[in-house]
Amino acid sequence: MNIDPADFHALLRRRRSRRFFTSRDVEPEKLERALIAAMRAPSGANTQPWEYVLIERGPIREKVREFCEKADVKFHEASPDWLKAFFDDHMITPVKEFAANAPYLVAVFGRRDLPFWLQSVWLSVANFINALELEGLHSLTYTPSLTRDFNKLLGVDESWSCQAVLPVGYGEPDEELKPRPRKGPAEKAHVVDGEGRLRPFDARLPFDP
């Protein structure tokens, strides 16, 4: 099956992180297709060192939100001044409303006992969030610094490392989505020629930031 490259790039351009979600239920087949995409990610030596834990709405979510906000408060307080300024400029706070509202929270864990686990987990997450966009669903790549107590709360193996907690659902239509311009290959890609000289990539295609 041929896939139009333009359609793929349009998908990547329109994907935005969302922080506010409606109460609309997520169709199970849409979520499962996104999970299938996550499972098809490449991994070092095909170790597939990821585990996805879907957290439904209910009393457990209050505890999950408490864990996330507590971890973020600690992280913000310990951050250097330049990072605190960054948080202020981007309106990033420890308040995680999505932890209570999104139909699902998906905690993505890495199996630290397998080789190449960290890079492989994030390749899987990239597949997952792009597949959600294809299904008309929204998410946010949230990376809290959670302790092993979080693992205990969810009943998962303490040797697994939580790398992300991803809200999944339908974004609030009134959420203000600010432009997120991207730098293209002309600025962010380089070439080392046969003689070992580093030079900028010679971009030939138009790039819309």
Burial tier of 130 (Cβ tally within 10 Å: 0-12, 13-18, 19+): middle
Query: How much is the pLDDT for 131?
Result: 97
What does the pLDDT look like over 133-166, one tens digit per residue? 999 999 999 999 999 999 999 999 999 999 999 9
Whether 137 and 166 have beta carbons less than 8 Å apart is answered as no
Residue 209 — very low, low, confident or very high, per pLDDT cuts 50/70/90?
Answer: confident
Residue 180: pLDDT band (50, 70, 90) is confident
What is the pLDDT at residue 178? Answer: 81
Strand partners, 169: 138
Cα 33-126-107 angle, rounded to 5 deg: 75
Q: 41-46: which pairs have CB atoms within 8 A and are 24 or more residues apart?
A: 41/120, 41/123, 41/124, 41/126, 41/127, 42/120, 42/123, 43/116, 43/120, 43/123, 43/124, 44/115, 44/116, 44/117, 44/119, 44/120, 45/115, 45/116
pLDDT value of position 188: 96
Residue 201 has pLDDT above 80, yes or no: yes
Per-residue pLDDT at 1 exceeds 80? no
Q: Report the chain's mean pLDDT, rounded to a whole number.
A: 94
Q: What is the pLDDT of residue 91?
A: 84
pLDDT at 183 over 80: yes
Q: Mean per-residue pLDDT for 24-44?
A: 97
Residue 2 has pLDDT above 80, yes or no: no
* pLDDT bracket for residue 104 (50, 70, 90): very high
* pTM of the shown model: 0.92
Span 60-91, pLDDT tens digits: 999 999 999 999 999 999 999 999 999 998 88
Do 191 and 203 meet the contact criterion of CB atoms below 8 Å apart? Answer: no
Domain boundaries, given as residue ranges, for the chain: 5-171, 181-209
Q: What is the pLDDT of residue 4?
A: 87
Name the fold adopted by 5-171: NADH Oxidase (3.40.109)
pLDDT > 80? residue 45: yes
DSSP for the chain, please give it: ----HHHHHHHHHH--B---B-SPPPPHHHHHHHHHHHHTS--GGG---EEEEEEESSHHHHHHHHHHHHHHHHHHHHS-HHHHHHHHHTT--S--THHHHSSEEEEEEEETTSTTHHHHHHHHHHHHHHHHHHTT-EE--B-----HHHHHHHT--TTEEEEEEEEEEPBPTT----------HHHH-EEE-TTS-EEE----S----
